[in-house]
A and B are shown apart, each in its own frame.
Chain A
Amino acid sequence: MSIVLDQVTKRYQGTPVVNDVSLNVRQGEFLVLLGPSGSGKSTLLRAIAGLTEIDHGRVALHGRDVTHVNSRERHVGFVFQHYALFRHMTIGENIEFALRVRKVKSAERRARRKELLKLVALEGMDDRLPAQLSGGQQQRVAVARALAHRPEVLLMDEPFGALDAKIREELRRTIRQIQRELDMTTILVTHDQEEAFALADRIGVMHQGRLLECGKPDDLYTRPATRFVSTFLGAANLLLGYRTPRGVRFSSTPMAGGEVPREVVAILRPEEVELCADELAVRSNFVSHGQVEEVLFGGAVERLRVRMASDGPVPVAPGRDGTTGQGSLLEVSRTLPEQRNFPVAVGQRVAVGARSIHVLPTPISSFTAVAADEAAARELRDSPLLSTLGARMQTRVATRIGRFERAPPGMPAIATGPACAAAAEWHLTHGAVQLLCVPPTAPLPNHVVIHTLDAESRRATLAVAASLLRHVAAEAIYLGIPPETSAESERGAHMRNLLDARSAALADHGLDMRTELRPGVVAEELQKELAAYERSMLVLGTSKPDAIQWDWLKSLLEGMPERPVLIVNSARTEPAADA
């Protein structure tokens, strides 16, 4: 491994800007760190170069731990966005700088300079000053300068950011060629996904300080695991669907009869949408009817927006035009042959099919605030926890008022209070897979207590907890609570269970949590732990909701201060699979 990052964390004034990032880069690999501005990608790159000290974690370059080595001795080449050429030195002097400070003989320096100028196609420019060169040429010089001392890795921080499109493309090709030629391990930081696709062997997507996903460009594009990556890499329609025996079904109205459908988050790429004159002509899976609302011709592809019928698919996140009662807007892009086969005009009614969809493996699809009246539902929806989760997860928070036959799909949310336990019982026995009890005024938690009532529910509970913790900055503790009177052997099993949970959380979800064994009465221990922190929250897992002593739950909820409680019912949680 050429570059190894192990749980690298960097904080500015207490807030992590790089949060627990682990990453391996192979020798000769070209990795592109992609993310919006402020996602921490530049900070991470600077941490690798030693220009920024990290607060936690380790950095190793070619097997050498350089966490505490200064950038002078890390032996990296670094290319800055604004070239950072020494203006008072000639191009030749700039390139020789690294060799000069290493006291390399002048004949050798000259030879290396010549070699490098040839590499970046700037022969004969030795005596020019940087200001006499164009931006693209200056960046070439910067690359040559960064390579002069034969570094082990090349790090580039938005190297094309200040250049115009044409030069950018040309320089991109040059960089890729040089990188291949020298077999140089390279990390490039950019916010431009096109650039990432053009250069990368592997793309790492960063968001809010975390490395969300890292993989081959086409894998990330076709099989993203998170909402953010699916929308950040290319365009995507994020839709709420229901898993049925015959595949995923998109509709705003749940099927009649049967149990609560399992809600999933699916992405439908604009280029995977098929438009036809009527339902029978659709060769792929029919989704719904719609009306063409906008047509933009953009050269090789045509971009359209189709307003779906009001009983059609529901977007995961309410868009700008998230007016209720009206159908959602679907982004569609079509190639020239498709356009020729079926030309459409604004206002035309079309049948929409999906050639391929990808179901995100996220355990939390959407929220529904359930209350007796409108005001209470709104208060619940606007509670700090629920509104923040909805916004950060880019997901819908619906409301439901009154009594229904079945629990709503996704995660119902109810207010804590005297009726809370009864409502929880009703939801969990009427098909809810998850349930959130929220005190309407509770702040965002910073201490999340996880406990599972049985070993079977561990997997699903950890998945939900990890998803939650990715969007809420909090520390997690997993409590194992064996009975006080339990035998030594039982405690051993419990301990193993805990450690398994911990390694599973880290391996499957990248979730780092503490584990603790606390012999005692479950309700009492949980209440004690939750009361010890001002902003705590409980995540409770069970695989047998029918076996729960509802009186016990009632006493648990009533016997502790007002804290959010998330109950995961794993009985109905099947592992997510692609449809």
Chain B
Amino acid sequence: MAASWFRQPSILPGFGLTLGFTTFFLSALVLLPLAALVFKTTALTWSEFLDVVLDERALASYRLSFGAAFIAAAVNAFFGFIVAWSLVRYEFPGRRLVDALIDLPFALPTAVSGIALATVFSPTGWLGVRLQELFGIQVAYTWLGVVVALILIGLPFVVRSVQPALVEAQRDLEEAAETLGASPFTVFRRIILPAVLPALVTGFTMAFARGVGEYGSVVFISGNLPLKTEITPLLIVIKLEQFDYNGAAALGFMMLLVSFLMLFAINLVQSWSRRRHIGPADTGRRVERRARPRNQKAGA
């Protein structure tokens, strides 16, 4: 029983098999390529590496990639919540249609959405012209265009993670608050928001992560001006096209590192808030769920 020290008792068979598969797929598809990336980077000396990753053009691309992804994820968190809210809480004609439309950015080739956005928002495009005329805002071929593209790509992540949380949020909690004299705003702030916050943060994180790595839709609308509207993935592709594989790997490594650190930080914040807000209730519910089948077995 050497391997059983981390094994949770469970009535489900095939623990060894499933863990084996998990390890294999994670290794073959995630860990190995990433390790290769890191390995490739080691071909560079320290100074060469620093030259590549701290290059002015590279630094500008980080700012744009991470900054735009962050803004887009924040915008999505806000509007995505509203979309999820209206989908869950209201009955309106065409609700199912809207529900299905949410997933479209998932399914569409990103290049298609990029081209579509570029067409609409370009200075001669249908929306671009009006934005230019009315507000003097140019969207396409600026950093704003990058943000718009990332909003489109990230929206389903927020909606799809908040939706189930809203469905599950108990209506009687809101009713309880109401009978106790809380205004609708208080009910929202003190009851609903704390209940869906973990899901919202998850959605935000996923939208952000997707935004950082997005390439297809961005390149068509950003204009790709070095130092201004050039995202890091594009820079990597440029390096590859110049057969600078080591430089590309170095940039890739940097993205990997920053993304990992940011996701890790968000996860920490999330688990802290879960402990604060939901408390042991969450774990309690999980224990209960696991315990039930065992009881059934005992009863049989």
Contact pick for B281, options A73, A97, A129, CB 8 Å: A129
A131 touches B281 (CB 8 A): yes
B281 touches A84 (CB 8 A): no
B175 touches A87 (CB 8 A): no
A88-B195, A131-B284 known; A97-B177 Cβ under 8 A: yes
B175 touches A98 (CB 8 A): no
| Binary contact readout A64-108 vs B (1 if CB under 8 angstroms, 0 otherwise) | 000000111110111010101111100000000110011000000
Q: How far is the CB of B62 from chain A (nearest CB, A)?
A: 36
Which residues of A346-372 are within 8 A (CB) of B?
Answer: none
B186 interface hit (Cβ, 8 Å) = yes
- Among residues of A, the one whose C-beta sits closest to the C-beta of B277 is A88
A51-B175, A84-B170, A84-B176 known; A72-B279 Cβ under 8 A: no
Cα-based distance from A578 to B259 in the complex (angstroms): 85
Q: How far is the CB of A365 from chain B (nearest CB, A)?
A: 44
Residues of B within 8 Å of A86, CB to CB, are 173, 176-177, 190-191
- Among residues of A, the one whose C-beta sits closest to the C-beta of B274 is A88
A132 touches B279 (CB 8 A): yes
Contact pick for B176, options A73, A78, A102, CB 8 Å: A78
Cα-based distance from A73 to B180 in the complex (angstroms): 9
- Among residues of A, the one whose C-beta sits closest to the C-beta of B175 is A51
Cα-based distance from A402 to B273 in the complex (angstroms): 82
A71 touches B179 (CB 8 A): yes
A51-B175, A84-B173, A86-B191 known; A98-B180 Cβ under 8 A: yes
Residues of A within 8 Å of B276, CB to CB, are 88
A262 interface hit (Cβ, 8 Å) = no
| Binary contact readout A313-336 vs B (1 if CB under 8 angstroms, 0 otherwise) | 000000000000000000000000
- Among residues of B, the one whose C-beta sits closest to the C-beta of A90 is B279
Which residues of A117-167 are within 8 A (CB) of B?
Answer: 129-132, 142, 145-146, 148-149
Cα-based distance from A74 to B175 in the complex (angstroms): 13
A187 interface hit (Cβ, 8 Å) = no
Residues of A within 8 Å of B60, CB to CB, are none
Residues of A within 8 Å of B178, CB to CB, are 51, 70-72
Residues of A within 8 Å of B170, CB to CB, are 82, 84
Cα-based distance from A146 to B195 in the complex (angstroms): 21
Q: How far is the CB of A399 from chain B (nearest CB, A)?
A: 48
Residues of A within 8 Å of B190, CB to CB, are 86, 97
A132 touches B180 (CB 8 A): no
B279 touches A149 (CB 8 A): no
B194 interface hit (Cβ, 8 Å) = yes
B180 touches A97 (CB 8 A): yes
Contact pick for B175, options A77, A80, A130, A142, CB 8 Å: A80
Residues of B within 8 Å of A98, CB to CB, are 180-181
Residues of B within 8 Å of A74, CB to CB, are 179
B182 interface hit (Cβ, 8 Å) = yes
Cα-based distance from A86 to B176 in the complex (angstroms): 9
A87-B278, A131-B280 known; A102-B181 Cβ under 8 A: yes
Residues of A within 8 Å of B181, CB to CB, are 72-73, 98, 101-102, 149
- Among residues of B, the one whose C-beta sits closest to the C-beta of A82 is B172
B271 interface hit (Cβ, 8 Å) = no
Which residues of B31-54 are within 8 A (CB) of A?
Answer: none
Cα-based distance from A110 to B186 in the complex (angstroms): 21
Q: How far is the CB of B199 from chain A (nearest CB, A)?
A: 14
A49 interface hit (Cβ, 8 Å) = yes
Cα-based distance from A574 to B172 in the complex (angstroms): 52
Residues of B within 8 Å of A85, CB to CB, are 176
A80-B172, A86-B191, A88-B194 known; A49-B279 Cβ under 8 A: no
Cα-based distance from A71 to B277 in the complex (angstroms): 27
Q: How far is the CB of B195 from chain A (nearest CB, A)?
A: 7
Which residues of B274-296 are within 8 A (CB) of A?
Answer: 276-281, 284
Residues of B within 8 Å of A130, CB to CB, are 281
Residues of A within 8 Å of B278, CB to CB, are 87-88
Cα-based distance from A166 to B186 in the complex (angstroms): 37
Question: Which of A77, A78, A130, A148 lies at the interface centre, i.e. has the most chain B CB atoms within 10 A of its CB?
Answer: A78
- Among residues of B, the one whose C-beta sits closest to the C-beta of A75 is B181
B279 touches A88 (CB 8 A): yes
B284 touches A78 (CB 8 A): no
B124 interface hit (Cβ, 8 Å) = no
Contact pick for A78, options B179, B186, B191, B195, CB 8 Å: B179
- Among residues of A, the one whose C-beta sits closest to the C-beta of B182 is A101
- Among residues of A, the one whose C-beta sits closest to the C-beta of B282 is A131
Residues of B within 8 Å of A97, CB to CB, are 177, 180, 182, 190
B183 interface hit (Cβ, 8 Å) = yes
Q: How far is the CB of A198 from chain B (nearest CB, A)?
A: 25
Cα-based distance from A85 to B195 in the complex (angstroms): 12
A72-B183, A88-B195, A101-B181 known; A132-B176 Cβ under 8 A: no
B179 touches A49 (CB 8 A): yes
Question: Which of B177, B180, B190 lies at the interface centre, i.e. has the most chain A CB atoms within 10 A of its CB?
Answer: B180
Residues of B within 8 Å of A82, CB to CB, are 170, 172
- Among residues of B, the one whose C-beta sits closest to the C-beta of A70 is B178
B179 touches A51 (CB 8 A): yes
Q: How far is the CB of A534 from chain B (nearest CB, A)?
A: 32
Residues of A within 8 Å of B195, CB to CB, are 87-88
Residues of B within 8 Å of A88, CB to CB, are 194-195, 276-279
Cα-based distance from A462 to B114 in the complex (angstroms): 76
A88-B195, A131-B280 known; A78-B175 Cβ under 8 A: yes
Residues of A within 8 Å of B277, CB to CB, are 87-88
- Among residues of A, the one whose C-beta sits closest to the C-beta of B191 is A86
Cα-based distance from A142 to B172 in the complex (angstroms): 12
Q: How far is the CB of B63 from chain A (nearest CB, A)?
A: 36
Q: How far is the CB of B182 from chain A (nearest CB, A)?
A: 5
Cα-based distance from A131 to B180 in the complex (angstroms): 21
Which residues of B180-225 are within 8 A (CB) of A?
Answer: 180-183, 186, 190-191, 194-195
Cα-based distance from A74 to B178 in the complex (angstroms): 10
A51-B175, A97-B177 known; A87-B279 Cβ under 8 A: yes
Residues of A within 8 Å of B182, CB to CB, are 72, 97, 101
Cα-based distance from A87 to B175 in the complex (angstroms): 15
Residues of A within 8 Å of B194, CB to CB, are 88
Cα-based distance from A441 to B191 in the complex (angstroms): 56
Question: Which of A49, A51, A132, A148 lies at the interface centre, i.e. has the most chain B CB atoms within 10 A of its CB?
Answer: A51
Q: How far is the CB of A488 from chain B (nearest CB, A)?
A: 57
Question: Which of B176, B177, B186, B191 lies at the interface centre, i.e. has the most chain A CB atoms within 10 A of its CB?
Answer: B176
Cα-based distance from A282 to B191 in the complex (angstroms): 67
Residues of B within 8 Å of A148, CB to CB, are 180
Residues of A within 8 Å of B191, CB to CB, are 86
Q: How far is the CB of A528 from chain B (nearest CB, A)?
A: 43
- Among residues of A, the one whose C-beta sits closest to the C-beta of B186 is A101
A72-B181, A98-B181, A145-B180 known; A87-B172 Cβ under 8 A: no
What are 20 A-B pairs with beta-carbon distances under 8 A? Answer: A49-B179, A72-B181, A74-B179, A78-B175, A78-B179, A80-B172, A80-B176, A84-B172, A88-B195, A88-B277, A88-B279, A97-B180, A97-B182, A97-B190, A101-B180, A102-B181, A129-B280, A132-B280, A145-B180, A146-B180
Nearest 8 CB-CB pairings of A with B: A131-B281, A98-B180, A88-B277, A84-B176, A129-B279, A78-B179, A84-B172, A88-B194
Q: A72-B178, A86-B190, A132-B279 are in contact. List 14 more A-B contacts (CB 8 A).
A: A71-B175, A73-B181, A78-B179, A80-B172, A80-B176, A86-B177, A87-B279, A88-B195, A88-B276, A97-B182, A101-B180, A129-B280, A130-B281, A131-B280
